[in-house]
Amino acid sequence: MSAAEIYYEPLSVLVSPEEDGMTVRRVLERRLGVSRKLLSRLKLTEQGITVNERRVYTSERVRQGDVVTVRMEQEESDDILAEQMPLDIVFEDRDLLIVNKPPGIVVHPTHGHYTGTLANGVIYHWKAKGEKVRFRPVHRLDEDTSGLVAIAKNPYVHQQLSEQLQRGEIDKRYFAYVYGAPEAQAGSVVAPIDRDPEEPHVRIVTPGGYHSVTHYETEAVYGGGIAAKVKLKLETGRTHQIRVHMKHIGCPLIGDKLYGYALQNGEAAEGGSPLMESAVNRQALHAAVLGLTHPITRETMIFEASLPEDLQRLESCLQQQGG
């Protein structure tokens, strides 16, 4: 079996004059930002770390002009069934996949969702292309939230994008349709979030919760204030954060069965609207923009996904209510 069939595309750096005498570990941390966890994995790989194509320890010192190379073994998600399904692929290269996820699709198989997930479709897509890749989503969207999802195609890219996410360097912007309208045209919701002790699957704003910040800007107000279209940007990424924060300021998402006004026997609960609730059969939330720095090319990339059909119908319905 050839190296091309065993390893992903190698990453190499040329040792600079400033790095002369540094350890291999220091050069890889300095130039590629390789994490300790990934270094530990690479040390167990036959050709994981080499200098001038010679396998070395990370404590070995290098000289100017040496070529330090990292090779990651190809992996597959053997526990995920490949399943053919339509995929809206926004971007793909050897390192990264950006998919526009439709509503009603779970990102990763979980208990009760072993098939029909985005992962099943992506694995099929890669197998059809003859690629051996493990499914590594950088972030996730709720089942009923549509929009952009970034998926890394090797451990290094996943590590780098995860760190960008933790540092708040990945630009995630959403459109939401909510009941009412925020008091200020633009602002920030700074309210800690944690699990509801009585219903662990539900998140609530609570003083002892995790620091959470959502920035918003009102795009349009409908029917004299009965509903609004809001653009949101996450500073933190807590579970259900947008849904919880919008409810917290009195503007729950239209169609949100967990935090909003769900239909009951064909009628909306107090504060809801049967017309709006029936126009969209899920929370009216769409991940419309995703900005990141490509870990390999270092290019700043911005991806966009237009509103899906159900939210376009909802917006048309709201526009009929008047401004």
Task: Look at the alpha carbons of 287, 107, 277, 259 in this order and tell me if their dihedral is positive or negative.
Answer: negative
Q: How far apart are CA 115 and CA 80, in angstroms?
A: 8
φ, ψ for residue 3, nearest 5 deg:
-60, -35
Q: List for the chain the helix, strand, coil content (%; round to 5).
A: 20, 30, 45
What are the counts of helices (DSSP H) followed by strands (DSSP E) for the chain? 8, 18
CA distances from 77 to 42, 43, 133, 153, 312 (A): 19, 22, 7, 11, 36
Residues 6+ apart with CB under 8 A from 78: none
93 is an active site residue: no
SS3 state of residue 300: strand
In DSSP notation, 17-74 reads GGGTT-BHHHHHHHHT---HHHHHHHHTSTTSEEETTEE--TT-B--TT-EEEE--B-
* Vertex 254 angle, CA 178 and 215, to 5°: 35
Q: Which one is catalytic: 142, 144, 256, 310? A: 142
Q: How far apart are CA 323 and CA 318, in angstroms?
A: 9
Classify residue 135 as left (phi > 0), alpha (psi -120 to 50) or beta.
Answer: beta
Residues forming the active site: 142
